[in-house]
A and B are shown apart, each in its own frame.
Chain A
Amino acid sequence: MMSEFTLQLAVQNLLARYVEAIDEDHLETWPAFFSDPCCYRVVSVDNHERGLPIALIHADSRGMLEDRVAALRKASVYEDQRYRHVLGCSLVKRIDARTVSAATSFLVVRVVRAGESSLFASGRYLDRIRYGTDCGDPSFEEKLVVLDSRRVDTLLAIPI
């Protein structure tokens, strides 16, 4: 079993690689951060606290995540844009020998067409992370993206 220290670093490394895949536009690698089946949901904090089940984005398989990326690349109409995620320190808790939960604050700055850098989203990742044997290959069994606001500026194209 990993020490608390190693576990903390391992979680933060996973999250750092996750947001890098998004921010550096390596979206094709994004689904592989998840288990299959998985649960990826983008919700607002008020919907979450009221227990309302509809999400802005809901995916329960890696295939659905791949479809999101394919739609962004081939179907959806939106202006060129990129994100910059800034993450807070993760609060990590062990669930069992191979599963941990992590709560991590984030800010997402969005730049549309190389224009203004503006704060697009703030919130928390509530993650359940599963490790493989020998504590290798961590993946998100569940990633709940809880946005502090329910209001989206123009559209939400790239995943958070």
Chain B
Amino acid sequence: MSATMGEVEDKAVDAAHAWPAEGLTRVPYWVYQDSGIYVREQSRIFRGPTWNFLCLESELRGPGDFKTSFVGEMPVVVTRDEHGELAAFENRCAHRGALLCLKERGNAKEIACVYHNWTYDLKGNLTAVAFRRGVRGKGGMPANVRPEAHAPRKLRVASFAGLVFGTLSAEAPPITDYLGPEIDARIRRVMKAPSRVLGVYSQMLHNNWKLYAENVRDTYHASLLHLFYTTFRISRLTQEGGVFLDSSGGNHVVEVHADPGTRDLEYERAGLRAATSDFRLADPSVIAGRDEFGDGIAIRILTVFPGFVMQQVQNSLAVRQIIPRGVEETELVWTYFGFADDDEATLRARIKQSNLVGPAGYVSMDDGAAVNFVQRGIAAAAEESSVVEMGGAAVASSRNTRATETSVRGFWQAYRRLMDL
């Protein structure tokens, strides 16, 4: 039997590239540039045995509510059916492949493709083919044709603490096993009540999606790149906090406790750029908030492999979805949320503190710049690799320092296992 196109391409990828012998402490730059790698990621990671964030459960309140989303490049419809159950399926008509749902959200009893009016129920089952038996005995589809066999693919759906995840794979483990106990517990801590969407924005990044996936796991950069944090002592590496990984390495959470207000001599001794500024806020209300989770944690950034981020920056809460849009294009969708029972003061704090994050955020616009600088810097360096040795070579939780790249290595551990690289 001859090899399929996919197998031929896979072999070409393997023949062209070998991961550096150092293993997880090196990341070869071709991994951000190669179109064969990109194609393999779509099938082995996004459509493979991973759980992909689809939406907040509160975005689908009642029967018939739907929302469109993405799993990698695959467009997806997420619905709540007439019995209140969540379902998700590929946003692609069985007939000619057109998008079924054009709106980002809405409510419907059934979903009809606009092209030829083929109709689906809220679970993605094809229920009607227009003129299937023809018109007045003429035309129509032969009786032995089974268009149902081309139906959009259905996802397994898991709702966890108000977050809806989906997978195409029968092999993905139960969601709690996939998350691991450290991540599971922290998601539950943040998602303490039914959520409420407070805003949706997106950011187009002109770089490979993995550069952002690494950036958000990179606890080493936070107080070096983000001068705003450092100046106002929201985050310093000498503050208490830790990094926790699941056993795959792909999921992480970093926590930073509120600053006790000590002077930070480590930065001054090292003469780092981050220690040189002395400006003060004219209106510090932008960072005023309260310890709503009762654990003294000011910043909590959590990821679930491959493309999900949950953020608690003081009282600013958001989920971020990393959507690959091409080898060097990534869309980052920010969904800000609060809770249905927020009081006025808490809502006001979320609104003000959201100045810190998002595409215009004091501590996140820098990331949009930095990851793009990498994509451009490596333009002629496919065979070179980055050095990821802060904290050694280990992939392990780190309770005593965030001057480590352990969760970046964790990402690559999970990635390479699925990609067979």
Q: Does B369 contact A79, Cβ atoms closer than 8 Å?
A: yes
Contact A67 B286 (CB under 8 A): yes
Q: Which of B158-206 contact A (CB under 8 A)?
A: 197-206
Give the contact stretch, choosing among B12-20, B77-85, B107-115, B353-361: B353-361
Chain B residue at minimal CB-CB distance from A159: B360
The reply to whether A56 and B283 contact each other, CB–CB distance below 8 Å, is no
- Residues of chain B within 8 A of A84, CB atoms compared: none
Interface residues as binary, A17-44 with B (CB distance below 8 Å gives 1, 0 otherwise): 0000000000000000000000000111
Give Cα distance in the complex from A104 to B131, angstroms: 50
Per-residue CB proximity of A62-78 to B under 8 Å, as 1/0?
A: 11101100110011111
- Closest Cβ of chain B to A146, distance in Å, is 13
Q: With a CB–CB cut-off of 8 A, which chain A residues contact B359?
A: 56, 152, 154-156
- 1/0 per residue, CB under 8 A from A, across B224-239: the answer is 0101100100000000
Q: Interface readout for A46-87 with B: 1 if CB under 8 Å, 0 if not?
A: 110000111111111111101100110011111100000000
CB closest residue in chain A, given B316: A54
**Min CB–CB distance A56 → chain B (angstroms):** 5
Most buried by A among B199, B205, B336, B370: B199
Interface flags for B350-372 (1: CB within 8 Å of A; 0: not) read 11101100111010011011101
Number of interface residues of A (CB under 8 A): 36
Q: A58-B352, A150-B200 are in contact. Are A156 and B347 (CB under 8 A)?
A: no
Asked if A150 and B365 make an inter-chain contact with CB atoms under 8 angstroms apart, the answer reads no
**Cross-interface CB contact of B360 among A62, A150, A156, cutoff 8 Å:** A156
- A52 in contact with B362 (CB, 8 Å): no
Q: How far is the CB of B103 from chain A (nearest CB, A)?
A: 11
Known contacts A54-B350, A54-B354, A67-B282; A157/B365 CB under 8 A: yes
How near does chain A come to B63, taking the closest CB pair, in angstroms?
Answer: 21
Determine which of B204, B336, B366 lies in contact with A54 in the assembled complex, contact meaning CB atoms within 8 Å: B336
Closest chain A CB from B39 CB (angstroms): 25
Interface residues on B, range: 35 or more
Cβ–Cβ contact B360 & A75, under 8 A: no
Chain B contacts for A52, CB-based, 8 A: 197-200
Nearest Cβ in chain A — how far from B57, in angstroms?
A: 17
- How far is the CB of A108 from the nearest CB of chain B, in Å? 13
* Bound CA span A136–B199, Å: 37
Residue positions of B touching A, CB distance < 8 A: 197-206, 225, 227-228, 231, 277, 279, 281-283, 285-286, 331, 336, 347, 350-352, 354-355, 358-360, 362, 365-366, 368-370, 372
29 CB contacts below 8 A, A to B, read A44-B201, A47-B201, A52-B200, A53-B198, A53-B347, A54-B350, A55-B199, A57-B355, A58-B354, A63-B281, A63-B283, A64-B282, A64-B285, A64-B286, A74-B227, A76-B227, A150-B202, A151-B203, A152-B202, A152-B204, A154-B203, A154-B359, A154-B369, A154-B372, A155-B360, A155-B365, A156-B359, A156-B365, A157-B360
Given contacts A44-B200, A54-B351, A64-B283, 16 further A-B contacts (CB under 8 A): A46-B200, A47-B201, A53-B351, A54-B336, A57-B355, A58-B352, A61-B285, A64-B282, A64-B355, A75-B227, A76-B228, A77-B227, A78-B369, A151-B203, A156-B359, A156-B365
Which 4 pairs of residues, A with B, have the shortest CB-CB distance? A54-B199, A63-B283, A63-B282, A152-B359
